[in-house]
């Protein structure tokens, strides 16, 4: 699930929470390790030689596929003169090399461009125009082109070995790019690209006026985020802009700050660039350094357990013992959260940004997630979105039970807890009054 961002001001005086605790990647969606072993083995098995083919693609023009019709790619970190592959280990699992065999030919292109390079493991890899060729494990069907632009270093290959997008005049600018807000356990809310890789800003640049001062070797270590005709951003799009770099390309800016990837981030969610040289920092949704910004919505517990409340019976609490609630104005089938803005300040949503712990009495199969209107992913229990209550100031408090006649402590199965309050609803529009739930402290 993609996380979007709508900025909320979570009043520090209302809720004393460790808001960044345990938030580092969706708990019930893709883990950020995009390939399971079965997919890797299958992709590797299918990346053998045989007849390579030139096919016409509507977006990229002529591209090269393997005999099964799977798209082939080249890698900017490789070299063509002399040919050399620099993709091994985990990289080669995600991008299986195309093996050169006696049967390897190319249909629809000049066969003289086809060659090979000896890899570090001694196998022979097919090259085109000197560039080593690869499949992408995330391409699950012939014709898929999910690898285009990944990490700003992987591209579909043309019949000459060039990047297909450059030869056709297409590519990122025509295709558009996507920026996404997500959460990091130490840095809070950060911005990533469409592949989930962290984006950074550079202190030696300037935002007013926008200017990039990272070229040459710097730009190899910190690839600039190239601008596009269409840029989607689930934050404040008015903060997006661009700056013309010294080489004439357009680079995306956020509140004036040019944006970059870091070459040493090898997987989605990595933040290896944070603090490098004391000048590089993960960027927040408003263009500032992420470490300087607090969480804008919700909170992230480390896990869930069951508490036996003297009035309500068994209820679900977070790892710190704070009661969790459900809201009648939400829906469970399909899951949907209808608590935003001021409501979300009074009832902070439980965000699903970590691998949670589930203690005895909880059924992890009942937990899932839903993308909120504000964009961050929220934990659900049997379909019902989960919340804390800002007026619960101590573990075991159940002050939110019965607020407005619509807010209820939740059982370990997602039902409303019985007993306790639930009669006199708070008159405040956000449940901020005095519900009649108890205060069963531990």
**Could you list the pLDDT tens digit for every one of the 442 residues in the chain?**
333 322 222 233 333 333 333 354 444 433 333 333 343 344 434 454 568 989 988 778 889 999 889 999 999 999 988 999 999 999 999 999 999 888 788 887 778 888 999 999 999 999 998 999 999 999 999 999 999 989 889 999 998 888 887 665 443 333 457 888 877 767 878 999 877 889 999 999 999 999 999 999 999 999 999 888 788 887 888 999 999 999 888 999 999 999 999 999 888 888 999 999 999 999 998 999 987 765 556 777 889 999 999 999 999 999 999 999 999 999 999 999 999 888 988 999 998 765 788 998 999 999 999 988 766 789 999 999 999 999 999 999 999 999 999 999 999 999 999 865 443 333 333 444 334 343 443 3
Burial of 404 (0-12, 13-18, 19+ CB in 10 A): buried
Whether residue 408 is found in the same domain as residue 359: yes
Whether residue 73 is found in the same domain as residue 158: yes
Whether residue 282 is found in the same domain as residue 322: no
Long-range contacts of 159-162 (CB under 8 A, 24+ apart): 159/54, 159/62, 159/64, 159/106, 159/108, 159/109, 159/110, 159/113, 159/128, 160/109, 160/110, 160/113, 160/128, 160/129, 161/74, 161/80, 161/113, 161/127, 161/128, 161/129, 161/130, 161/131, 162/129
Cis status, amide bond into 399, omega within 30 of 0: no
- Estimate to the nearest angstrom the gap between the alpha carbon of 9 and the chain centroid: 23
**Of 126, 157, 172, at which residue does a domain stop?**
172
**Of 243, 258, 292, at which residue does a domain stop?**
292
- Estimate to the nearest angstrom the gap between the alpha carbon of 139 and the chain centroid: 18
Decide if 219 is inside a domain: yes
**Of 292, 324, 356, at which residue does a domain stop?**
292
Q: Quick check: helix, strand or coil at residue 238? A: helix
Beta-bridge partners for 198 = 192
DSSP code at position 345:
H
Beta-carbon contacts of residue 155 (< 8 Å; ≥ 6 apart): 73, 74, 76, 148, 149, 163, 164, 165
For residue 358, give its domain range: 1-23+295-442
Give the pTM: 0.46
Q: Quick check: helix, strand or coil at residue 210? A: strand
Decide if 32 is inside a domain: no
Whether residue 104 is found in the same domain as residue 227: no
Tally DSSP H helices, then E strands, for the chain. Answer: 6, 30
Whether residue 225 is found in the same domain as residue 126: no
What pLDDT sits at residue 371?
Answer: 85
Asked if residues 159 and 165 have their Cβ atoms less than 8 Å apart, the reply is no
Decide if 29 is inside a domain: no
Decide if 190 is inside a domain: no
What pLDDT sits at residue 229?
Answer: 78
Whether residue 439 is found in the same domain as residue 309: yes
Beta-carbon contacts of residue 309 (< 8 Å; ≥ 6 apart): 315, 323, 396, 398, 409, 417, 420, 438, 440
- Please tell me the total count of domains within the chain: 3
For residue 90, the surrounding DSSP H or E stretch is: helix 90-94
Q: Closest Cα to residue 162, out of 228, 73, 81? A: 73
Whether residue 411 is found in the same domain as residue 302: yes
Whether residue 152 is found in the same domain as residue 269: no
Whether residue 285 is found in the same domain as residue 301: no
Decide if 3 is inside a domain: yes
What pLDDT sits at residue 49?
Answer: 52
Decide if 51 is inside a domain: yes
Q: Quick check: helix, strand or coil at residue 184? A: strand
Whether residue 424 is found in the same domain as residue 385: yes
Whether residue 437 is found in the same domain as residue 303: yes
Residues shown for the chain: 442
Whether residue 149 is found in the same domain as residue 214: no
State the Cα–Cα distance between residues 114 and 111, nearest whole angstrom.
5
Decide if 6 is inside a domain: yes
Decide if 186 is inside a domain: no
């Amino acid at each position: 699930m993609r996380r979007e961002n709508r900025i909320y001001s979570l009043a520090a005086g209302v809720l004393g929470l460790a808001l960044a605790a345990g938030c580092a990647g969706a708990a019930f969606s893709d883990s950020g390790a995009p390939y399971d072993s079965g997919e890797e083995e299958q992709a590797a098995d299918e990346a053998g030689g045989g007849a390579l083919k030139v096919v016409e693609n509507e977006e990229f023009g002529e591209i090269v596929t393997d005999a099964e019709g799977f798209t082939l790619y080249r890698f900017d970190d490789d070299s063509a003169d002399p040919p050399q592959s620099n993709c091994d280990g985990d990289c080669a699992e995600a991008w299986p090399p195309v093996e050169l065999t006696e049967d390897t030919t190319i249909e629809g292109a000049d066969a003289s461009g086809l060659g090979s390079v000896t890899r570090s493991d001694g196998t022979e890899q097919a090259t085109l125009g000197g560039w080593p060729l690869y499949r992408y494990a995330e391409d699950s069907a012939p014709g898929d082109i999910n690898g285009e632009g990944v990490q700003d270093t992987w591209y579909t290959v043309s019949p000459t070995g060039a990047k297909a997008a450059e030869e056709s005049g297409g590519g990122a600018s025509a295709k558009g790019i996507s920026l996404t807000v997500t959460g990091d356990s130490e840095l809070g809310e950060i911005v990533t690209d469409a592949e989930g890789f962290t984006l950074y800003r550079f202190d030696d640049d300037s935002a007013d006026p926008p200017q990039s001062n990272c070229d040459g070797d710097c730009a190899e270590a910190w690839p600039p985020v190239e601008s596009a005709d269409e840029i989607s951003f689930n934050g404040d799009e008015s903060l997006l802009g661009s700056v013309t770099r010294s080489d004439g390309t357009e680079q995306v800016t956020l509140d004036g700050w040019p944006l970059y990837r870091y070459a040493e981030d090898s997987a989605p969610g990595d933040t290896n660039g944070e603090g490098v040289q004391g000048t590089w920092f993960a960027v927040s949704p408003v263009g500032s350094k992420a470490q300087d910004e607090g969480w804008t919505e919700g909170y992230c517990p480390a896990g869930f357990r069951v508490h036996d409340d003297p009035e309500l019976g068994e209820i679900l609490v977070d790892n710190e013992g704070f009661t969790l609630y459900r809201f009648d104005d939400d829906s469970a089938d399909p899951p949907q959260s209808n608590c935003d803005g001021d409501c979300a300040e009074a009832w902070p949503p439980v965000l699903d940004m970590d691998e949670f712990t589930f203690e005895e009495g909880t059924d992890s199969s009942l937990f899932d997630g839903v993308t909120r209107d504000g964009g961050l992913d929220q934990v659900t229990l049997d379909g019902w979105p989960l919340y804390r209550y800002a007026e619960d100031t101590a573990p075991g408090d159940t002050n939110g039970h019965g607020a407005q006649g619509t807010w209820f402590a939740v059982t370990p199965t997602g039902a409303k807890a019985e007993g306790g309050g639930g009669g006199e609803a708070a008159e405040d529009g956000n449940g901020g009054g005095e519900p009649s739930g108890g205060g069963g402290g531990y």
